[in-house]
Copies of this chain bind each other. A is one copy, B any other.
Amino acid sequence: MFSKACEYGIRASIYIGQQSADQGRRVGLRDIAAEIDSPEAFTAKVLQLLVRAGLVTSVKGPTGGFELTAEQLRTVTLRQIVLAIDGGEMLQGCALGLRQCSAQQPCPLHYQFLAIRDQLNEVLRTHTVGELAGKVHDGLGFLRQFS
């Protein structure tokens, strides 16, 4: 559905959000990669994208790391994360790969997938990172496999 990069990006930002909401704790890369079970260096690349897009905040040096500001917690949606990493392909492109699929010239599944895509967009648009962080904090959601 999403690329690996995007999966890591979503999980990472939710974890960062959880720690930020929890007494404003800043988290380092090593910590993040361990907690969401992702490759450290690759996760760093993905986080750089999110930082550049203004969706995550980073601080260098000792006591540095990644965090979400109160505003980021409140306003950053999953949709923004996905767009920053994967672009709009999955959110807008034709399921059958037609370059211009529209009501004028629809693929045979245009309207069926329009409905699915609408629902996907709705889910991504209406969930903030902060909200999902809360869910993880309350033990109602997980970011990696616990055996």
Q: Please give the residue numbers on chain A whose beta carbons come within 8 Å of chain B beta carbons, in ascending order.
A: 1-2, 4, 7-8, 10-11, 14, 78, 90, 93, 95-100, 105-110, 112-113, 115-116, 119-120, 123, 127, 132, 135-136, 140-146
- Once the chains bind, are B4 and A107 in contact (CB under 8 Å)? no
How many identical chains are in the complex?
Answer: 2
Q: Are the C-beta atoms of A112 and B98 separated by less than 8 Å?
A: no
Q: Is the CB of B127 within 8 A of A120?
A: no
Please indicate the chain B residues that have their CB under 8 angstroms from the CB of A11 in the complex. Answer: 96-97
Residues of chain B contacted by A116 (CB below 8 angstroms): 116, 119-120, 123
Contact of A108 among B97, B107, B110, B135 (CB under 8 A): B135
- CB neighbours of A93 from chain B (8 A): 1
Contact in complex: B1, A107 (CB < 8 Å): no
Q: Which residue of B lies closest to A38 (CB)?
A: B97
B106 touches A113 (CB 8 A): no
B108 touches A113 (CB 8 A): no
The 8 closest A-B pairs by CB, nearest first: A108-B141, A7-B97, A108-B132, A112-B123, A108-B135, A1-B95, A105-B142, A99-B145
Q: How far apart are A5's CB and chain B's nearest CB, in angstroms?
A: 10
